[in-house]
């Protein structure tokens, strides 16, 4: 199963965040996903994301958070990308602020596909130069261009 990240990313789900807290950022991720028609029940979607955060922070370090949720009412995987130029306290593993948020959501019965998407995303964002370009991006198109070929 070959994963092409670009298939899960859309211009409508890339945004520049104004959040100052993790919960505000999650609200933004939920709203953008809902507005693009990917989430039919935003309240339960947010609850599921917050429940996952309560188990362990999805702030993986290096200025990146990957909140994720698998729910039976989400028919297909998608990624929503938020960029916060000021940084947000996310209780990250390295205790540093988060600038890049990658929400991964999809059906709860496709664990292998989820893990492959996560692995591919991690491969792309572990490159420090790429992370820097994402944080410095001025437009959604700049962000999308970084994911071309992945």
The residues assigned a catalytic role are 68
Start-end of H helices in the chain? 22-35, 42-55, 111-125, 128-136, 140-146
Q: Are 105 and 67 in contact (CB under 8 A)?
A: no
Q: Are 100 and 134 in contact (CB under 8 A)?
A: yes
- CA 25 to chain CA mean position, Å: 10
Q: Is the dihedral of CA 97, 99, 105, 108 positive or negative?
A: negative
| Backbone angles phi and psi of 135, in degrees to 5 | -65, -35
Alpha carbon separation from 30 to 2, 5, 14, 60, 120 (Å, rounded) = 27, 20, 12, 20, 22
């Amino acid at each position: 199963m070959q994963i092409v990240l670009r298939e899960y990313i859309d211009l409508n789900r890339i945004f520049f965040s104004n959040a100052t807290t993790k919960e505000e950022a999650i609200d933004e991720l939920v709203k953008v996903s809902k507005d693009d028609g990917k989430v039919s029940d935003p309240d339960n979607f947010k609850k599921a994301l917050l429940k996952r955060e309560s188990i362990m922070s999805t702030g993986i370090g290096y200025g990146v958070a990957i909140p994720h949720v698998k729910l039976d009412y989400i028919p297909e995987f998608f990624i929503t990308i938020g960029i916060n130029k000021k940084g947000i306290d996310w209780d990250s593993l390295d205790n540093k602020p988060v600038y890049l948020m990658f929400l991964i959501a999809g059906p709860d019965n496709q664990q292998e596909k989820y893990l492959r998407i996560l692995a591919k995303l991690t491969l792309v964002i572990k490159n420090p130069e790429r992370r820097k370009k994402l944080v410095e991006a001025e437009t959604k198109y700049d962000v999308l261009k970084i994911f071309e070929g992945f």
